[in-house]
Structure 1
């Protein structure tokens, strides 16, 4: 008796596969054998991709076109579209995409498409395994995909209704691949200058070359072959500099030429690396969250599923990398103490105290027990402590010169990383902001505190300012915890639709490239 618990009369095709045929196929294609067998068992071995008339279904055509587009625009991998499936489809195209009734190729074509779905879905929608991601220092929990449920959705819904289980950013980057694919076929000679700097109003043959390059890249809207440095070129340069992480000063210098000389092929590879990372993140992020993109040195604040505002951040210097992970902001701490971390204690504070007993007082620091009780620093024999044997805590008192500034934002984690204010405001004006010991300094701490506490009527702007400038540490538990993602994306499309690139500040791109492409 046929099992109708999974599919209604309208949801399956009359044609059925012989279970022995399925088993024989799975002897040679074993990668997803369990999934394939379960899929057909649940639908009582009815076809999913080939109609009663031998015609490929609309959904099959949509799936094949999806794979062919990915293969064409950079995803050159046999798992994206296998050679047997490609050959089968090319043959069908020559024969009008139709199999003759009783055609012996029909069962193979049907099973190839199902096997391909699992291979493609795991490659394109899931990416590397979780273990591989962790070896690449990525600790944000991976999204989970029910591939069997997704296959049901693809074969039963109209092709136009199928939604790929990927983050919107993935689709935006994939669209950019198509544009770069056109540029890759063009000659991309290196632009070379004879002077250190070129400014508005000047004339030079190099200026014409820069105009041409910026026009190809979409930054200069109207083609201009003249050698004059025009106001339009100034604007185009600033736009390009801004979206590639350069200081937007509107001048032609070596840093600009270096960025313009990066070939489309190199940029395609950079996009593919970041598409792999984006496969790992939730397809539908929460409506409200914080995102720190380490290579962009930015904090992005999202509300109601769109960017609300953003600000500059300072992240860990190479060797003291800010960790890639996710959590929830639970506390805002006003006028915080700063507990000196072990590394700084060993390499900075203890040597300073051995040289000058007045160091702690000058830094507004104190020694306390684990429970916060005071310890007389003058009574300690500092020469006998090397760091690991120091039994107390050294902390900096609240105040304007506190290393954490006037407020910090906690999402307790094993890496001891958090967001915080800083007295060193000048560093936010630097272009490459890798200066911290791993924590993230925020250029707009008051705005972030107001945003996090905006649904709590007891916290007015005035009260927040008073608490930030207070002399006593004050913990505030958020009524609504906010997800925070510390990410690493060197290629992304911004809220204005511009393709952005950033430098690989920690070398993570190079490691991932070796995994994806087999080379550095």
Structure 2
């Protein structure tokens, strides 16, 4: 929702009156007033790319999610959501709206438009008709941007479900996250990195401004990324990947039973306690022993390495870290909860350059060349930048855009306001 008092008051009036007004007052039933020529013109004239750019501009501000500014903006959002929710909130979007996109002309477009108007994603109009026009396309993309969804302008599954989250639930998120941000903001230094788990994003912050923002992949529900506060200590360029013991038992055994050549294909070698190589075929993968699980399983540097070109280390007892990845396609998904707890970073070379700013002899060209060389190199971070992994499912910026994310780990459902951080 955009925090504009005039549009909000109009939305409140719409929400409270929509159930009582006849359909003709809010939209056309039956045959649309638009003929085929008008629909074709909508398709021809709509600037879908421009609509995406405009939607992204609403959220791509330089304000950190974790800051006192956000705490203040959340209070403003609460003050405007409360009367809106009291007036009835927004109505549900019917299942018939699923799949709607630019140029469609259906009765469900009317309910879709009313939903977008109620949340401020689309401007108020005098007559809500049944044509999915350019304004509706922009409204859907704005909604998608605020909810961290792919900006495709279509009422896809993720968009439809997000639209049908009740306004009361969103208000509850604002209450919880206002307290979370206020509590955590007090412990921030001028320069820090934030991993916001529900948004699967990373912000590199300096002097109250976001200097870099990165898409991330974080831990799935059963292997959640932990809440932590630490300091980034080292960059491992073109690292080996040592497979954690938990993954040896949970994953490697399954992969090896499905494909006996899996380790060879992935360039993973096994070493016993004396440093001797172990033949994978000598292990009974269906009944692996504790001793065999305890062997070192090491993946060599290269294109298939699970760490990609780098690993970003910081102290924590969970063996959790930030890293590159060879599977870039995951960054384009709506729900990026695929890892075993560690955090994969899109555009990680830029973040590495930012972290090595205090080392003096590093720049973007040197970082990129080191990546490409496949040279094994460990570099201590002189800056020791603090890092926080957090859980923020709702926030707002100064231009009045309120963003929401799914409660993936059910911390909102539990009413959690504070977390036991593991500090360095």
For this structure pair, what is the TM-score category when the shorter chain's length is used for normalisation?
Answer: 0.7 to 0.9
1:400 aligns with 2:303: yes
Of the three residues 176, 197, 207, the one matched with 2:109 is 207
> Alignment RMSD, CA only?
2.7
Q: Aligned pairs, how many?
A: 348
Say whether the 8 Å CA contact 1:293–1:299 is kept in structure 2.
yes
Say whether the 8 Å CA contact 2:271–2:297 is kept in structure 1.
yes
SS in 2 for 1:296: coil
Structure 1 distance, partners of 2:265, 2:104, is 53
Q: Which residue of 1 aligns with 2:357?
A: 454
Q: Which residue of 2 aligns with 1:378?
A: 279
Of the three residues 359, 380, 388, the one matched with 2:290 is 388
Please give the residue correspondences for 1:4-403 in structure 2 after superposition, counting only pairs within 5 Å.
167-187=68-88, 188-194=90-96, 196-227=98-129, 228-253=131-156, 255-283=158-186, 285-350=188-253, 358-368=261-271, 374-378=275-279, 381-383=282-284, 386-390=288-292, 391-403=294-306
Structure 1 distance, partners of 2:211, 2:138, is 25
1:354 Cα deviation (Å)? 7.3
**CA shift digits 1:115-158 (9 cap, x unpaired):** xxxxxxxxxxxxxxxxxxxxxxxxxxxxxxxxxxxxxxxxxxxx
Q: TM-score, normalised by structure 2?
A: 0.75
SS in 1 for 2:382: strand
When residues 326 and 513 of structure 1 are mapped into structure 2, their CA distance, relative to the original with a 3 A threshold, is closer
Runs of 4+ with deviation above 6 angstroms = 354-357
1:284 Cα deviation (Å)? 6.2
Of the three residues 389, 392, 402, the one matched with 1:489 is 392
SS in 2 for 1:286: coil
Say whether the 8 Å CA contact 1:211–1:233 is kept in structure 2.
yes
1:252 Cα deviation (Å)? 3.1
Structure 1 distance, partners of 2:284, 2:296, is 17
Structure 1 distance, partners of 2:376, 2:70, is 40
When residues 268 and 482 of structure 1 are mapped into structure 2, their CA distance, relative to the original with a 3 A threshold, is same
1:224 Cα deviation (Å)? 4.6
Structure 1 distance, partners of 2:175, 2:382, is 39
Q: Which residue of 1 aligns with 2:335?
A: 432
When residues 218 and 388 of structure 1 are mapped into structure 2, their CA distance, relative to the original with a 3 A threshold, is same
1:511 aligns with 2:414: yes
Which blocks of at least 5 consecutive residues in structure 2 are unaligned? 1-66, 419-424
Say whether the 8 Å CA contact 1:320–1:438 is kept in structure 2.
yes
1:347 Cα deviation (Å)? 2.9
Q: TM-score, normalised by structure 1?
A: 0.62
SS in 2 for 1:285: coil
When residues 443 and 496 of structure 1 are mapped into structure 2, their CA distance, relative to the original with a 3 A threshold, is farther
When residues 249 and 309 of structure 1 are mapped into structure 2, their CA distance, relative to the original with a 3 A threshold, is same
Choose 466-475 or 291-300, whichever is displaced more: 466-475
Of the three residues 314, 323, 331, the one matched with 1:411 is 314
When residues 509 and 201 of structure 1 are mapped into structure 2, their CA distance, relative to the original with a 3 A threshold, is same
Which blocks of at least 5 consecutive residues in structure 1 are unaligned? 1-165, 516-520
Structure 2 distance, partners of 1:275, 1:342, is 38
Structure 1 distance, partners of 2:409, 2:259, is 36
Larger Rg: 1
